[in-house]
A and B are shown apart, each in its own frame.
Chain A
Amino acid sequence: MLLDNIILFTLASLVGFEVISKVPQTLHTPLMSGSNAISGITIVGALIVAGQVHGAWATWLGVAALVFATINVVGGFMVTDRMLQMFKKKD
């Protein structure tokens, strides 16, 4: 399992390098805030711990993580959208 995960991580990193090195400088800030929102994928882990396991400690730690991750996800995607909306071509 661990080895499979390492293989997956390595391949995904290579894809990441390939895709992102072509992002133009103009979009570097939206790239950061957008990828930031994607790193909020921890929300998945937070949901599991907050809602799907037994034990009060786990649940409340999960809720705390869920709040943080949700801020990251919702705020991140929304603010990126707000920024990208502003990038316009000459009319």
Chain B
Amino acid sequence: MLQDLIKIAYLVSAILFIFGMKRLQSPATARKGNQIAAYGMLVAIVATLVAKPIVTPVEMILGLLIGTAIGWIWSKKVEMTGMPELVAAFNGFGGIASAVVAFGEIAKLIQNTGTDDGEAFVMSTAVTIALSILIGGVTFTGSFVAYGKLSEKISGNPMSFPGMRLLTLVLAIVSIGATVWMVMGAGAFPDDFMTTAVSVEFTEPMIYGAIIVATAAFLLGILLVIPIGGADMPVVVSLLNSYSGMAAGATGFVLNNTALIVSGALVGASGLILTKIMCDAMNRSLLNVLIGGFGGDGQTAAAGSKSMEGKNITEVSSEDAAILLAYAEKVIFVPGYGMAVAQAQHAVRELGDELQKRGVTVKYAVHPVAGRMPGHMNVLLAEANVPYDQLYEMDDINGEFDTCDVAVVIGANDVVNPAARHDTASPIYGMPILNVDHARTTIVLKRSMRPGYAGIENELFFNSNNRMLFGDAKASISKVVSEVKGLD
């Protein structure tokens, strides 16, 4: 009876997760949705605590307290600009938790032989344990390499070495081999496991097999992320997000637990959808992204197909930029990673407010892969109190650039390069872009003339109706704000 109630509780928690995620379909209901999902988690935790007698309460409470303290402090202290690496790190913790639970399950199965708590070690359990360790391990190291790249603790440039793909292949084969060894070991598990402790020869394949799978998984996770450049991070972060769900799902198979399987599947699906959206927004296949080598800081990548030599750029002063903006009817801001780096979102919002006071229509156009993770720019602008109904997705705003007086590009580059539309030789040809060049005037804020992540020159900069405003984005915008304020 109790066990049936527990199962129903897990079902309830899975339903709460689904309803919670459904509410993420609108910013108005999203916060409530997240809270509903958190209640779902609470239901699952309580159900687990009452399901079976607790034999080691002190250890359990200790684990809960330490984890809560770290999670609480970290989530309170993080800056919004540090969000991509935080998401990556949390992802990694989820992955390693799944892998360690699978190890704990092995320990439980082996240590309880010869007692009444003994359970059979069956082949399907061995497969799911190996899967849980494999996916969890890849998620763990992959996420922490991503964390390092996003927080600039390690270089954001793609890294590779000779024989890397061969090593990846070898590691994949090794982990499959170790899994087979575990399965065969489970098949040979003695039938009298409840009366006599199982001898070493039967436990070895489990323990060492699992350690080999874990080692291979850790290395595979590193190899998965190091060849990927900073600007391709949105894809990897989404993919790792999906993996962390699948790792939880695999653990659900190990424990035969509905809540884990359903939520693992939900998160797995969510990550995959985001991965696909990110790839589509760059017009590249997932395989192409994963092979990597694309998208460092622009210094190593190949030069563009079309030389821009002999063409001129036009600089603009902050005074002139202020005049252009203040007397416009419609202004569209296009933020990119540069805005995040310069922490310019508050200055941008201030400029937007000043312009609106003067009767200018202000909108924000956000490309799906702007920044280092899906939705990165939206979070930063929300932090700066830009109302979400002023933020537009690419397809909804692209038609509006034709009627726009000034498009202001803040630290975005390749996502506004018109070459993507017509230059078949360009590496970014075919990538959907924001049509800022259709605006009457464009102002591009940039530190210097260094090319974007794809390492190609941006045609936009050389257009006759484009003005370059060089310098730190935050300082430049702040100057423009004070100039606008000075106008009558």
A binding-site residues for B, Cβ under 8 Å: 1-2, 5, 8-17, 19-91
Q: In the complex, what distance in Å separates the CA atom of A49 from the CA atom of B93?
A: 17
- Cross-chain pairs A/B with CB under 8 angstroms, 24 sampled: A9-B261, A10-B265, A12-B264, A13-B269, A34-B24, A37-B34, A39-B245, A40-B97, A41-B264, A46-B100, A47-B60, A55-B111, A58-B104, A62-B59, A64-B63, A65-B104, A68-B67, A68-B96, A71-B67, A75-B74, A78-B75, A86-B80, A87-B388, A90-B387
Inter-subunit contact A46/B63 (CB<8 Å): yes
Is B212 an interface residue, CB under 8 A from the partner? no
Q: In the complex, what distance in Å separates the CA atom of A66 from the CA atom of B100?
A: 9
B binding-site residues for A, Cβ under 8 Å: 14, 17-18, 20-22, 24-28, 30-31, 33-35, 37-38, 40-41, 44-45, 48-49, 51-57, 59-60, 62-64, 66-68, 70-72, 74-76, 78, 80, 83, 86-87, 90-91, 93-94, 96-98, 100-101, 103-105, 107-108, 111-112, 115, 117, 124, 237-238, 241, 244-245, 247-249, 251-274, 277, 366, 368, 373-376, 378-379, 382-383, 385, 387-391, 393
Q: In the complex, what distance in Å separates the CA atom of A38 from the CA atom of B104?
A: 21
Q: In the complex, what distance in Å separates the CA atom of A17 from the CA atom of B90?
A: 22
Partner of B21 from the list A34, A72, A83 (CB cut-off 8 Å) is A34
Partner of A5 from the list B34, B83, B96, B253 (CB cut-off 8 Å) is B253
Q: In the complex, what distance in Å separates the CA atom of A82 from the CA atom of B378?
A: 14
Q: In the complex, what distance in Å separates the CA atom of A45 from the CA atom of B60?
A: 12
Q: Which residues of A sit under 8 angstroms from B86, Cβ to Cβ?
A: 33, 75, 79
Q: In the complex, what distance in Å separates the CA atom of A11 from the CA atom of B14?
A: 12
Q: B375 to chain A: closest CB distance in Å?
A: 3
Inter-subunit contact B248/A42 (CB<8 Å): yes
Inter-subunit contact B49/A47 (CB<8 Å): yes
Q: Which residues of A sit under 8 angstroms from B51, Cβ to Cβ?
A: 52
Q: Which residues of B sit under 8 angstroms from A12, Cβ to Cβ?
A: 14, 261-266, 269
Partner of A19 from the list B22, B67, B373 (CB cut-off 8 Å) is B22
Inter-subunit contact A78/B76 (CB<8 Å): yes
Q: Which residues of B sit under 8 angstroms from A68, Cβ to Cβ?
A: 67, 93-94, 96-97, 100
